[in-house]
Structure 1
Amino acid sequence: MSVHVRHSDKVIEAKLLEFPDYMSKAEEYKSQTGVSNVYIMSDDSKLIKSTEQYKDFRFQYLDVPRPNKAWFTETERGVPKDILERNFLLDVYAAAQCDHQILTYSSNVARLIGEISYAIRNKEPVLY
């Protein structure tokens, strides 16, 4: 399963859900299916660190900087835009490859993950 947690500048558009909210859905899904592998996509480095408390899950994620800020702050620090774009696309594709997604459709990125998942399987994704 994949979990997409959008924080950073999303707070100005929507109420942010905290990681335990997503993980309660992951725990429900795990109890139904036995699936404990979770791909994390998030802009929040603190969230990645907090996965350590969920011992019954195996987490995977890209090893990239997560400043929890908008992209332009990274380009201002000298990170090439093409690297940011590549990392983003790899993250989206990895999340969409999972059989199940836990996300919110208040995020355009999450909707993109859902659309790609649909295109890959030619069926509606299972969303929690």
Structure 2
Amino acid sequence: MKKTYTSIRIALFAIVVFSCSDDDDSSYPVYDREVTVAQNDSILVDLGAYPIEGGREISEEARHAKTSELRAGNYFYKPEIDFMCEDQVEITSYGSTGGNDIFPTGVVRITLLVSVATD
């Protein structure tokens, strides 16, 4: 009985240790934004303050972009010619506490609604 009890405690300890690993994606916030852009047009999305020690990168590229890039703290998007639907991009921000270790601090997930241009 004592061996069973010890085995159960070891198993529970292992579960706790592995569930608290550093690879947990929920350790930083994900911000969802929705932006509308006219078909065959482009848009510049303000991403807010730029990280002082760190940076940003496009971690999941928009699938229907003619141009998708970061420009001086903003995100620039131009859809493919005649594309009309929904596209999505994810931008990860990285930070540092002053050392060489850079870690993710947040993700901005932008849903781009590409629709017919209205006058």
TM range (shorter): under 0.3
> Could you state the TM-score of these two structures normalised by the residue count of structure 2?
0.27
Larger radius of gyration: 2
Identify, as 1 or 2, the structure richer in strand: 2
> Could you state the TM-score of these two structures normalised by the residue count of structure 1?
0.25
Identify, as 1 or 2, the structure richer in helix: 1
